[in-house]
Amino acid sequence: MISLNIEKAFGFISKESVFAYEAQVKSAQEALESGTGKGSDFLGWLHLPSSITKEHLDDLKATAQTLRENCEVVVVAGIGGSYLGARAVIEALSNSFTWLQEKKSAPVILYAGHNIGEDYLYELGEYLKGKKFGVINISKSGTTTETALAFRLLREQCERQRGKETARKVIVAITDAKKGAARVTADKEGYKSFIIPDNVGGRFSVLTPVGLLPIAVAGFDIDKLVAGAVEMEKACGADVPFVQNPAALYAAARNELYKQGKKIEILVNFNPKLHYVSEWWKQLYGESEGKEHKGIFPASVDFTTDLHSMGQWIQEGERSIYETVISVEKPNHSLVVPSDSENLDGLNFLAGKHVDEVNKMAELGTQLAHVDGGVPNMRIVIPALDESCIGNLLYFFERACGISGYILGVNPFNQPGVEAYKKNMFALLDKPGYEEESKAIRARLNE
């Protein structure tokens, strides 16, 4: 099971100041459990892991199997909460080079609908030419422009290449039960579809079909992933005492750090496979807490890569940051540094050591250097990159986010700020219904 260590934050904030959050955490937990806090219509994620049934998992696995049997490539179309969770888990668990190998045990998973890049979509279409591909179209609202645009292109190409009948078998929709264009299309075309529960917001939806179906298609064990989340649901529950509850401690420590002027949290990993876990985490915390002109800015770095770029800023820049390091205890493979008789690169002092030992010393050295440089440090230790630990991690972050948002005093479950750009974009694109906004925005542009 994953664990949290906040000892290296204590040089900057006191133990007492963190423990003083106990009462606030308690009332945040109570508000979550009783549904009496802000945004309580969106608490479906809270006990989601333990409420997932075997029948539901079997249905997802059967659909994943159909896609696996009929597709070389599956494109996941979605944006934000409708794609980041799946990508985070798939990239954390995948062999980094499988997609380049000729013989594959699972379809290649690609992503679309998370940008409006003409070149990206063109090149994706070119890559898919002649390939047996399928699409998982994910959109809770069913009307998100980025996703709908990509899906329009993908669906047309899939039907053209594979015929309407096969396309029907390899296109799956994950959307609202009743409303939205994605639902209308799925019902009309007879696509297999899964429902995103009304009470689960996008960034909390990784353990709904939004994440589980693509993860199963990629060949990972969703039973174990869910079991890992269930384990954390228990470990972070309202009945678990404050000092033993990782979500409570993390939420308390980050609020205290914020109060002490640490406005930026940098999520650090020392394993490139975790890059998208950080992207998922940034959305979770950024959209949940960044409102009412408040909230920690969630940033991320991949070490040691970024020690050669952002490392300077972190070591000596403005002291408004703290780091939360995700530390993977054990790699899944073993690789030892070979000895070299000439030793031209001077690396024989490492001969016989595991590559991960070098990485671990880089991690330890970085932690001490950054703490010495004035950067508080917390560590989340993951025994290994596997489904169970990733399930732990996902739920831990979700629970802590709910608690943390309530301590901050915001509604962690809405995202009113993401509408502003959409309104302007629709006005500029002359979307029907936006006539007044179009006139107003054009007048502003001509000012």
Cβ closest to ligand PA5, residue 80 vs residue 412 = 80
Interaction mask 143-182, ligand PA5, x per CB under 6 A: -x--x-----------------------------------
Alpha carbon distance 28, 36 (integer Å)? 10
Check residue 193 for interaction with ligand PA5 (CB under 6 A): no
Residue 291: count other Cβ atoms within 10 Å of its Cβ.
Answer: 18
What is the rounded CA–CA span in Å between residue 173 and residue 191?
7
Residue 18 or 207: the one with the smaller Cβ distance to ligand PA5 is 207
Stretch that binds ligand PA5, among 116-124, 136-144, 184-192, 320-328 (CB under 6 A): 136-144
| Secondary structure letter of residue 342 according to DSSP | S
| Matching residue, tokens 């917001």 | 201
Note if 131 is an active site residue: no
Min separation Cβ 141 and ligand PA5, Å: 3
Instruction: Identify which of 4, 5, 12 has the alpha carbon closest to the alpha carbon of residue 256.
Output: 12
DSSP for residue 337: P
Active-site hit among 103, 188, 308, 333: 308
Using CA atoms, how far residue 327 sits from 34, 95, 283, 337, 392, in Å, is 34, 19, 20, 21, 14
Choices 85-93, 197-205, 225-233, 370-378; region in contact with ligand PA5 by CB under 6 A: 197-205
Do 297 and 264 meet the contact criterion of CB atoms below 8 Å apart? Answer: yes
Query: Which runs of consecutive H residues, i.e. helices, occur in 271-410?
Result: 275-289, 311-316, 355-372, 387-408
- DSSP letter at 196 equals P
Q: Is 308 known to be catalytic?
A: yes
Q: Which of 15, 164, 178, 422 is catalytic?
A: 422
Quick one: which segment of 19-27, 63-71, 199-207, 224-232 binds ligand PA5 (CB under 6 A)?
199-207
Count the site residues for ligand PA5 by CB under 6 A.
14
b vs e for 313-344, b when ≥16 Cβ sit within 10 Å of the residue's Cβ?
ebeeeeeebbbbbbbbeeeeeeeebeeeeeee
Residue with the shortest CB distance to ligand PA5: 202
Give the nearest distance from C-beta 205 to ligand PA5 in angstroms.
7
Q: Which stretch binds ligand PA5 (CB under 6 A): 137-145, 151-159, 269-277, 342-350?
A: 137-145
Token pair, residue 267, equals 């999520």
Least separation, in Å, of the C-beta of 142 and ligand PA5?
7
- Which of the ranges 42-50, 195-203, 303-311, 365-373 carries the binding residues for ligand PA5, by CB under 6 A? 195-203
Interface map 70-99 toward ligand PA5 (x if CB under 6 A): ---------xxxx-----------------
Q: How far is the CB of 162 from ligand PA5 (least distance, A)?
A: 25
Which is closer to ligand PA5, CB of 13 or CB of 171? 171
Helices (H), 181-269: 181-189, 209-217, 222-235, 246-259
Give 149 or 355: the residue with its C-beta nearer to ligand PA5: 149
CB of 375 or CB of 401, closer to ligand PA5? 401
Judged by CB under 6 A, the chain residues 359 through 418 that form the site for ligand PA5 are 415
Q: Out of 44, 85, 134, 201, point to the residue binding ligand PA5 (CB under 6 A).
A: 201
**Is 255 exposed, middle or buried, given 0-12, 13-18 or 19+ CB atoms closer than 10 A?**
buried
Q: Which of 29, 63, 139, 245 binds ligand PA5 (CB under 6 A)?
A: 139
Q: 411 or 415: whose CB is closer to ligand PA5? A: 415
Q: For residue 145, what is the enclosing H or E element? A: helix 145-170
* Contacts of ligand PA5 in 270-299 (CB under 6 A): 287
Residue 304, preceding bond cis, omega within 30 degrees?
A: yes
Active-site position among 146, 287, 289, 398 = 287
Contact indicator for 108, 166 with CB cutoff of 8 Å: no
> d(Cα 160, Cα 422) in Å, to the nearest integer?
31
- Rounded to whole angstroms, how far apart are CA atoms 215 and 221? 8
Among 155, 162, 203, 291, binds ligand PA5 (CB under 6 A): 203
Residues that bind ligand PA5 in the complex, under the rule CB under 6 A: 79-82, 139-141, 144, 147, 201-203, 287, 415
Enzyme catalytic residues? 287, 308, 422
